[in-house]
Structure 1
Amino acid sequence: MTQPKKVVLAYSGGLDTSIILKWLQVEYGCEVVTFTADLGQGEELDPARKKAEMLGIKPENIFIEDLREEFVRDFVFPMFRANALYEGLYLLGTSIARPLISKRLVEIAVETGADAISHGATGKGNDQVRFELSAYALNPEITVIAPWRKWDLGSRTRLLEFAEAHQIPIAKNKRGEAPFSVDANLLHTSSEGRVLEDPAEEAPDYVYQRTVNPEDAPDAPEFIEIAFEKGDPVAIDGEPMSPATLLARLNDLGGKHGVGRLDLVENRFVGMKSRGIYETPGGTILLEAHRGIESITLDRGAMHLKDELMPRYAELIYNGFWFSPEREMLQAAIDHSQQHVTGTVRIKLYKGSARTVARWSEHSLYSEAQVTFEEDMGAYDQSDAQGFIQLNGLRLKLLATRNRKFEG
């Protein structure tokens, strides 16, 4: 690799990325630009600026950006139009954030004249793949530096020694092993590692940060109404909201009622299994509500085809292929299906569950006149079903006749 002259680093301000920042300076003698994204992780970001300045980064090379609206509008909502679940359970909270971070890393590299970008993902996880595939899809000439795959700081002790040698402040609680690692954004919180590594052991309750224990949730249910336009939520209880504001509100409601907890052993793209604790309160409500409005506005054929495509779509996002042509092709089909997914869904929140209890829409395909058990006034001729059954049963009759002949 050609020695980089300027590197844009995805920078959180934490110990690991601060060590990476200094390592880049020491290893390559290069100028470093820091990029810190506010994706709704709930942390104060000004300390990241001060930490970067303390480590010698010029003010004009420190980028801190509020990307919450773009994150929800352009990444989370399109994904939820597909009802995407990885391995039938995971709402892809970490996966969907990486393409946006990579997009800005590449853009800032162009803006600042940098010839490389860098991230703090380890060589064992999925994030390294997501960051780098996204970056290469957007700029095939970009150089990506992954320190965890290059340096010899493979232990916590070595990291702390490096930090102390280069006068990087170390919080007291960082001198010992953290009980687990956390990744958070507006869609979810992910906790992995250490006390969670044995899947035979129940996760301690202190791991959960966004949701109350469902057993301790309010004893009375709460009902909310979510309005959709063309597949995207636009209002809660009649109040129009921006995408990020709406998801934040659903997070508050879901967290209060213990909605959205998941203990999952998943298959990483790099080949190993891992155990994670996920909290996605707002996303869990949103998925339920979106399926609720689709149930009356989507044609059967479109709905069933969407359900067939969804696992492939979710796998593409999980594996880092957001910017791939196949994901974009699937997105076009999914978005086309949402043209009439407009209406309102009433959701009941109660002790860990979010359930659709009512739904209505001017675009509804539901016909009470046809399904009623009362007199349907000729809306449906039940005698038509006889020919329908006979035609569909013909091949089954032929098969049964043939098989009976040879079976004896």
Structure 2
Amino acid sequence: MAGKETKHNIKKVVLAYSGGLDTSVILRWLQKNRHCEVVTFTADLGQGEELEPARKKAEMFGVKEIFVEDLREQFVKDFVFPMFRANTLYEGQYLLGTSIARPLIAQRQIEIAEAVGADAVAHGATGKGNDQVRFELAYYALKPDVTVIAPWREWDLTSRTKLLAFAEENQIPIAKDKRGEAPFSVDANLLHSSSEGKILEDPALPPDEIVFQRTISPEAAPDTPTEISIDFVHGDPVAINGVSLSPASLLTRLNELGKANGIGRLDLVENRFVGMKSRGIYETPGGTILLAAHRHMESITLDREAAHLKDSLMPKYAELIYNGFWFSPERRMLQALIDESQHFVNGQVRLKLYKGNIIVTGRESPNSLYDTRVVTFEDDEGAYNQADAQGFIRLNALRLRLSAMAGRKNT
């Protein structure tokens, strides 16, 4: 079972490596303290940074097996889109941009570990956050006997000063803006940008404009709205303004449109799985547009009870993703139900983007359940018998009448 290897007999470890200060320190720490061969894995999930420097830095440390992979299409197609079919929001607001990226990184780490014959995997998540849980639950779900190394829970580099001292002692390049206290930390991918810590730790204070990476302010957005259309097939977006796009290209385009119109900012105090509350500034421009469009596509294509059932299950589904249970049987079961509901979620939604707002201007579908003959205020030509409503109301009122007749107050 898990953890059968000890720190003394691990020969090879696959490290989730960003090339930044923390994971570079971890790389060298593993070499010095575990005396093992380190394999680095760097994933391009659309974070908007050049990844070749990470390769060069790994080479500088003598790493022989270096994996730098573009996973943007897989990320959006197999992780982001399935999540959006459920209209997923954690605690009613958070679009889970960080949470949904971790299972893919963990999955590739395990696949690489199997391919290169590694004994262990390692990550750079701290012992205070959610990511340690997300990474490790995924590791164990995919490879039950894997050994996990989490340096932040083991080493004595408990401060930024000690981390920088270790880096200088081991000739680890330090970017100039990393010397001293960074104003806040940033995690980004194609779905979102997340900023937290340091100057953002007091939830009573508004974030400075320098915090925002992916959006302009709504006040600075154009005075003329941007009108777009999004086409859906089986619940997934496939085209913008009639132009078919791959999953990653489509989300990239929605990000551009959202950024230009000040859409997708969120200042949130959330409940971490490990027990504490944390404040984060999230920017999800394309995802915010997609969520609104998808809900309106469902509004005319989903049966009422199917839609309400989906909505009732969504908080649990969101919690599973947030807490790191992407590969759990219960998440897979919910996904099967969600995907079953999307067969007829086909058609087009038209939107107006304006100063942080998403205004729906129309929706149509070949599978629409909206029937003008039934809802019209004009002559419905017998499509709906209004007299039927009397019996419907009396049956639903029966228990209320019985309660009132028994002398029970309904206040």
Residues 70-122 of structure 1 show CA distances to partners (whole Å, capped at 9, x for unaligned) of 00000000000000000000000000000000000000000100010000000
Residue 28 of structure 1, aligned match among 34, 54, 69:
34
Residue type matched to 2:186 in 1?
A: V
Q: Name the CA distance, whole Å, in 2 between partners of 1:171 and 1:37.
A: 21
Question: Where does 1:252-267 land on structure 2 (aligned, <5 Å)?
Answer: 252-267=256-271
Aligned pair partner of 1:148 in 148, 152, 169: 152
Letter in 2 for 1:97: A
Verify: 1:56 aligned to 2:56, yes or no: no
Please show how residues 378-397 of structure 1 align to structure 2 within 5 Å. Answer: 378-397=382-401
Shift in Å, 1:353: 1.1
Task: Output aligned runs, 1:100-249, within 5 Å.
Answer: 100-249=104-253
Tell me, in whole angstroms, the C-alpha distance in 2 between the residues paired with 1:208 and 1:403. 59
Which amino acid is 1:346 matched to? Answer: R
Q: Which position in structure 2 is the counterpart of 1:342? A: 346
Where does structure 2 lack aligned partners over 5 or more consecutive residues? none
CA separation in 2, counterparts of 1:41 and 1:123? 23
Separation (CA, whole Å) in 1 of partners of 2:157 and 2:407: 68
Partner of 1:12: 18
Q: Which of 77, 80, 84 is the matching residue for 1:76?
A: 80
Aligned AA (1:256)? A
* Corresponding position of 1:94: 98
Letter matched to residue 407 of structure 2: N
Deviation at 1:35, TM superposition (A): 0.1
Letter of the 1:21 partner, please give it.
Answer: L
Q: Aligned AA for 2:171?
A: Q
Q: Per the alignment, in what secondary structure is the counterpart of residue 168 of structure 1?
A: coil
Query: Counterpart of 2:374?
Result: 370
- SS, match of residue 249 in structure 2: helix
The aligned runs of 1:241-390 (5 Å cut-off) are 241-390=245-394
- In the alignment, the residues of structure 2 paired with residue 398 and residue 355 of structure 1 have an alpha-carbon distance, to the nearest angstrom, of 45
1:291 positional shift: 0.1
Aligned to 1:42: 48
Across the aligned residues of Structure 1 and Structure 2, the Cα RMSD in angstroms comes to 1.0
1-structure distance, mates of 2:110, 2:171? 30
Select between 258-267 and 391-400 the one with higher mean Cα deviation: 391-400
Distance 2:357 2:132 in 1: 34
Distance (whole Å) between structure 2 residues aligned to residue 192 and residue 161 of structure 1: 24
Given residue 379 of structure 2, which amino acid in structure 1 is its aligned partner?
E
For 1:71, give the aligned amino acid: F
CA separation in 2, counterparts of 1:322 and 1:372? 44
- CA deviations on 1:177-210 (whole Å, 9 max, x unpaired) are 1100000000000000000000000010110011
- More off after superposition, 390-399 vs 24-33: 390-399
1:203 & 1:131 partners in 2: Cα distance? 29
Q: Deviations over 1:117-148 (max 9, x none)?
A: 00000000000000000010000011110000
With the length of structure 1 as denominator, give the TM-score of the two structures: 0.98
Q: Using the TM superposition, name which of 64-73 and 390-399 deviates more.
A: 390-399
SS of 1:235's partner is: strand
CA distance in 1, matches of 2:360, 2:135: 36
The secondary structure found in structure 2 opposite 1:95 is coil
Counterpart of 1:85 in 2: which secondary structure? coil
> 2:67, 2:333 → 1: CA distance?
33
For residue 116 of structure 1, what is the amino acid of its counterpart? A
SS at match of 1:381: coil
CA distance in 2, matches of 1:69, 1:384: 52
Which secondary structure does the structure 2 equivalent of 1:129 belong to? helix
- Report the Cα distance in structure 2 between the residues aligned to 1:403 and 1:186, rounded to whole angstroms: 60
Alpha-carbon distance between aligned partners in 1 of 2:138 and 2:352, rounded to the nearest angstrom: 38
**1:66 deviation in Å?**
0.2
Q: Percent identity?
A: 73
Task: Give 3-state SS (helix, strand or coil) of 1:403's partner.
Answer: coil
Give, in angstroms, the shift of residue 355 of structure 1: 2.4
After superposition, what is the alpha-carbon deviation per residue over 1:37-75, rounded to whole angstroms, capped at 9, x for unaligned?
A: 0000000000000000011111xx000000000000000
The size of the alignment, in residue pairs, is 404
Query: Quick one: which amino acid aligns to residue 26 of structure 2?
Result: I
- TM value normalised by structure 2: 0.97
**Which residue type is aligned with residue 278 of structure 1?**
Y
Aligned to 1:65: 69
